[in-house]
Amino acid sequence: MKALVTGGAGFIGSNFVRLTLAERPDVEMTVLDALTYAGNEASLPDDDRVTLVKGDIAEPELVQDLVAEHDLVVHFAAESHNDNSLDNPWPFIQTNIIGTYQLLEAVRRHGKKLHHISTDEVYGDLELDDPAKFTAETPYNPSSPYSSSKAASDLLVRAWVRSFKIEATISNCSNNYGPAQHVEKFIPRQITNVLDGIRPKLYGKGENVRDWIHVDDHNRAVWTIIDKGVSGETYLIGADGEMDNKSVIEMILEQMGQAPDAYDHVSDRPGHDMRYAIDSSKLREELGWEPMYKDFAAGLAATIAWYRDNEPWWRAKKLETEMKYERLGR
């Protein structure tokens, strides 16, 4: 099988490529990635079964040609960071909406199968004391330019399935952690801060809850949906990993041998979603998926070890990232 993996030089996409090489001997992959500030060629393994094409998913001729040559499109490429979307929404509209549109048109024309990767943030947020979790029936209610652009892309996929009968599935996953995540994101930012002797930065009071899942659990779920999912269906991916941000920072500090209160409170993110929580029973019961990483502390320790061992991978991005946060006051 030949798979076109968009955004395969990013965090989740590059882990998908590694997992696929290890577990799917029948799959060859072309990574289509614009290598934006978030993409990193060094995240990709050097292997005969992986080819990198540097290019933009919003460029129609390139996308048409590549989709025609593949059996399956696994669509990870996106502008992915909420703080950046609040600073400058335009690249989110261009990549997440226009880019997804161009892929859909190519998939429609060439009759290929698509799996669209999305986020739980399309559902908005939950109150801290609300027993509810997101399901595929929860109404869309996105808060940020990032999450609204992802919501728009999901709706385009649904419309192309219904009106043009393309074969496509959608997954909405919660917060991923693991190796090779950009240092702008919460967990890698704090780990690399501690390694650099900088105090971790907690937005607001740190009561906000995220539902953490290891990136390999996400990517195994993606393969489960590609193998067994029903076209037109949406599957929520989550591993029951709810934790507030303050507790995560304290756990990072403890695991790195620091005092648990050795962090700074900084100004809050505008419109900051309070809580995400995924009900993944549809994926578990209908398709038989189960997470393998059930111990967040152990997964976090392995992630800390990865950043300790791979400084050259993140060093080049760290200074520019912290300069951006300084400008944003966070």
Binding site residues, ligand NAD, CB under 6 A: 6-7, 9-13, 32-36, 38-39, 56-58, 76-80, 95, 99, 117, 119, 150, 173, 175-176, 182
Residue listed under structure tokens 């048409």: 64
Give min distance, CB of 261 to ligand NAD, in A: 27
Contact range with ligand DAU by CB under 6 A, out of 40-48, 106-114, 159-167, 184-192: 184-192
> For ligand DAU, which is the closer residue by CB, 313 or 325?
325
Q: Which does 186 bind (CB under 5 to 8 A by kind): ligand NAD, ligand DAU, none?
A: ligand DAU
How many residues in total does the chain contain? 330
> For ligand DAU, which is the closer residue by CB, 50 or 242?
242
> For ligand DAU, which is the closer residue by CB, 174 or 303?
174
Helix (H) or strand (E) holding 131: none
> For ligand NAD, which is the closer residue by CB, 91 or 258?
91
DSSP 278: B
Under the criterion CB under 6 A, does residue 119 sit at the interface with ligand DAU? yes
Q: Which of residues 217-256 bind ligand DAU (CB under 6 A)?
A: 245
Q: Which does 10 bind (CB under 5 to 8 A by kind): ligand NAD, ligand DAU, none?
A: ligand NAD
Q: Which does 202 bind (CB under 5 to 8 A by kind): ligand DAU, ligand NAD, none?
A: ligand DAU
Contact 96, 148 (CB under 8 A): no
Contact residue for ligand DAU among 15, 56, 116, 121 (CB under 6 A): 121
Please give the Cα distance from 316 to 54 (Å, whole number). Answer: 20
Q: What are phi and psi for residue 9, nearest 5 degrees?
A: -100, 5
Please give the Cα distance from 117 to 164 (Å, whole number). Answer: 20
Question: How big is the CA angle at 92 (ends 90 and 93), to the nearest 5 degrees?
Answer: 65
List residues bridging with 5 in a β-sheet.
31, 74
End-to-end Cα distance, the chain: 45
> For ligand NAD, which is the closer residue by CB, 199 or 282?
282
Q: Which does 99 bind (CB under 5 to 8 A by kind): ligand DAU, ligand NAD, none?
A: ligand NAD
Give min distance, CB of 215 to ligand DAU, in A: 11
- Which residues neighbour 147 within 8 Å (Cβ) at sequence distance 6 or greater? 82, 119, 121, 122, 124, 273
Under the criterion CB under 6 A, does residue 120 sit at the interface with ligand DAU? yes
Give min distance, CB of 48 to ligand DAU, in A: 31
User: Which are the catalytic amino acids?
Assistant: 120-121, 146
At 316, list the tokens. Answer: 């080049």
Per-residue binding letters, 200-219, with ligand DAU (x by CB under 6 A): -xxx----x-x---------
SS3 state at 246: helix
Cβ-closest residue to ligand NAD? 10
Give min distance, CB of 80 to ligand NAD, in A: 4
- Describe the chain by its helix, strand, coil percentages, rounded to 5: 45, 20, 35
Please give the Cα distance from 330 to 318 (Å, whole number). Answer: 15
Q: Which amino acid would we find at residue 39?
A: G
Q: Which does 152 bind (CB under 5 to 8 A by kind): ligand DAU, ligand NAD, none?
A: none
At 66, list the tokens. Answer: 């590549």
Q: For 81-126, give the secondary structure using H, E and C.
A: CHHHHHHCCHHHHHHHHHHHHHHHHHHHHHCCEEEEEEEHHHHCCE
Q: Which does 263 bind (CB under 5 to 8 A by kind): ligand DAU, ligand NAD, none?
A: none
Q: Tell me which residues touch ligand DAU (CB under 6 A).
A: 80-82, 119-121, 174-175, 185-186, 189, 201-203, 208, 210, 245, 269, 276
